[in-house]
Amino acid sequence: MKNILLLAASLAAIAPLAQAGGSYASATSSTTAPSMPKVSEPINERFYIDLKGGALWVQDSPDMSFETGWGLSGAFGVNLGHGLSVELESGYYSFDTDSIDGIKASDIDFDAEFEFVPVMGNVKYVHPVTSLFNFYVGAGLGAVYTQGEANLGSIEASGDEWDFAFQGFAGVSVPMSEILFFDLGYRYFATGFNSDELRAHSVQAGINFKF
């Protein structure tokens, strides 16, 4: 990601010239009260599929700032019991630049688009908080493929690379049935350990289907 940002920033260096030119609680009683689904302990020894989508906010670099992006993610997981699970996750995320060195991209006919595809191995813990929802938290390590394209007038540049990546996430899940849950969560995603690497925040909603 750092190399791609440097590539885009190098085009931005000639920007001044270009600018100058132009489970629910169950009800039980002695009467026949309607029964409702109830949150139980996480289903053990079962597989699940997790699908989410939402907004993406990428931390600005020293040379440019970014617009709000979007992303989709999907995971295949295995419940190990006692609320623990492991999963393999991937997805697609996209975002654009908003300004370069304090100059709006639209003012200098500059455009840069970035996208990344992570491949992550996660560990996740799910805990029933009340009879209405579960809380979950997790972390993952893996790799991410990043590519970017930058255009300044008729000048074009592009690049791509693989990087080490890590993430942390947390959220809540609400049971729609014993096997289908609605999820809402936050995710922090990063590459490398330098300040100029990719740093992204996202809020996603989706479904978790157990089978």
Flag whether pLDDT at 25 surpasses 50: no
pLDDT tens digits, residue range 104-133? 877 888 889 999 999 999 999 999 998 899
How many angstroms separate the Cα of 175 from the Cα of each of 105, 130, 157?
45, 11, 47
Flag whether pLDDT at 81 surpasses 50: yes
pTM here is 0.78
Characterize the bridge pairing of strands 103-104 and 110-128: unpaired
How far from chain centre, in Å, is Cα 57?
Answer: 9
Nearest by Cα to 109 from 191, 15, 32, 31? 15
Domains of the chain: 2-23+49-210 (2.40.160.20)
pLDDT tens digits, residue range 144-178? 999 999 988 888 999 999 999 999 999 999 999 98
Flag whether pLDDT at 30 surpasses 50: no
Whole-number Å distance between alpha carbons of 70 and 203: 9
Q: What is the DSSP string of 150-202?
A: EEETTEEEEEEEEEEEEEEEEEEEEESSSSEEEEEEEEEEEESSSTTS-EEEE
Burial (0-12, 13-18, 19+ Cβ within 10 Å), 20 = exposed
Flag whether pLDDT at 89 surpasses 50: yes
